[in-house]
């Protein structure tokens, strides 16, 4: 079911007043792919994971973090590195 079909099926007397406006908004949403529907089955981990991954990608969650290797220990940020002695 696309957005237009949903809009026409859910129309009531109150909505009839705003039907043209609602259709215009739905047109913009569909033309610019501003809304995406994903199937969700809460009993399947893969389905929930797919929705979570899509949401994280859309809000760019974790984009600012640096990737870490599992083999390397985490280095604290406040450790000062020794300065080399100047040579003359």
pTM: 0.41
* Residue appearing with tokens 């610019």: 32
Q: Provide the residue range defining the domain that includes 22.
A: 3-58
Judge whether 34 lies within some domain: yes
CB proximity list for 26: less than 8 A, separation 6 or greater: 3, 4, 7
What is the rounded CA–CA span in Å between residue 43 and residue 57?
22
Q: What's residue 69's pLDDT? A: 67
Judge whether 19 lies within some domain: yes
* Phi, psi for residue 19 in degrees, rounded to 5: -60, -45
Query: Confidence class of residue 65 from pLDDT cuts 50, 70 and 90?
Result: confident
Judge whether 31 lies within some domain: yes
Judge whether 14 lies within some domain: yes
Judge whether 64 lies within some domain: no
42: which DSSP letter? T
Judge whether 20 lies within some domain: yes
Alpha helices (runs of H) in the chain, residue ranges in sequence order: 3-9, 13-17, 19-31, 45-58
Number of domains in the chain: 1
Judge whether 67 lies within some domain: no
Q: For residue 43, is pLDDT > 70?
A: yes
Judge whether 35 lies within some domain: yes
């Amino acid at each position: 079911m696309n957005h237009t079909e949903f809009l026409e099926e859910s129309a009531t007397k109150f909505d009839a007043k705003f039907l043209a406006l609602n259709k215009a908004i739905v047109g913009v949403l569909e033309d610019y792919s501003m809304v995406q529907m994903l199937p969700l089955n809460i009993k399947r981990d893969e389905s929930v994971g797919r929705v979570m991954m899509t949401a994280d990608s859309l809000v760019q969650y974790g984009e600012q973090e640096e990737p870490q290797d599992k083999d390397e220990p985490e280095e604290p940020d406040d450790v000062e590195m020794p300065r080399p002695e100047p040579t003359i």
